[in-house]
Structure 1
Amino acid sequence: MSTVIEQAVEARLVAAAPRMPTIPATLHYAQSDPYAVRMSFPAPATLEGIEVYWTFARELLVHGVEQPVGDGDVRVRPYGFDRTVVEFHAPEGTAIVHIRTGDLRRFLHRTLALVPVGQEHLHVDLDGHLADLMRDAC
């Protein structure tokens, strides 16, 4: 079984204009960073023209498909029958995207099969992280 999961999703960008363009995005999960999910947007889909990554707690997606969660830079909530809203807050502004809830559930199912909730600590390499910190300190 692979220790990294990637899944492409279509995100609908909510903008001031009534049209909601679809933009590609990719969800990433790595067993080596079991508490986190990364969502990336390719350069053509961003205002800066560079690939953008957001890293946030997997727990936000797990709970956010059922109920509103988050009060920081990333917030997640259900929207209607088949959509989930993910909000990304930054000093430059806020990006709001809609993602099919079924796509998120499939992704989460795969991540939870790899690392079940409550077992994340078994996959964290504390010695390796400490060694990295000490190496950078010298």
Structure 2
Amino acid sequence: MSAIRPSTVEVETSLRLVAPDATALPVRASLRYDPNDPYAVHVLFHAESAGGEPVSWSFARELLFTGLDEPAGIGDVRVWPWNGPRGDFVALALSSPDGNALFEVPRSVLVRFLRRTYSVVPRGHETDHLDVDNAVNRLLAGR
């Protein structure tokens, strides 16, 4: 009998890129969670100017969870509650050598996304889904 593999969670949404003058521009994005990478979430930005290829950022699922209610993260990825006239959002700040970007993400979208990820891999059970032997074999194969 084979074990049932949990499936990937993916949610299509629209984020808002906050420009320096405080205007916000919509950006198509996908939130993705793969149980084979149980500690991480991935945000794929579907930018038309990127030649059709999505731009992906990966960071800790726990960072996203914490950022729903309090500031979280240092360095390249920071997340915090963002309440404004349009409702409850979460701020997602990304930094790279190429520049910085600040996005508004609807809080309700992140809550639903995280609930779905926790139904696939419950919080605190990420190690149950790690294939350490496979990871070591891949690392050693590159030598």
Same fold (TM over 0.5): yes
Give ranges in structure 1 of 5+ residues lacking alignment: none
**What is the DSSP-based 3-state SS (H/G/I as helix, E as strand, rest coil) of the residue aligned with 2:24?**
coil
Deviation of 1:136 (Å): 1.2
What is aligned with 1:34?
38
* Aligned with residue 118 of structure 1, among 121, 124, 133: 124
Deviation of 1:43 (Å): 3.1
2:64 paired with 1:58: no
Deviation of 1:102 (Å): 0.1
Residue type of the partner of 2:134? G
1:84-126: per-residue Cα shift (whole Å, max 9, x none)?
Answer: 0000010111110001000000000000111111100010000
Counterpart-to-counterpart distance in 1, 2:74 and 2:136 = 30
2:20 paired with 1:16: yes
What is aligned with 2:76?
73
Give ranges in structure 2 of 5+ residues lacking alignment: none
**What is the DSSP-based 3-state SS (H/G/I as helix, E as strand, rest coil) of the residue aligned with 1:67?**
coil
Maintained 8 Å contact 1:23/1:45: no
Aligned residue pair count:
136
Change (3 A) 1:86 1:45: farther
What is aligned with 1:136?
142
Counterpart-to-counterpart distance in 1, 2:26 and 2:49 = 9
What is aligned with 2:109?
103
Counterpart-to-counterpart distance in 2, 1:18 and 1:85 = 13
Change (3 A) 1:107 1:56: same
Change (3 A) 1:2 1:127: closer
- Runs of 4+ off more than 4 Å: none
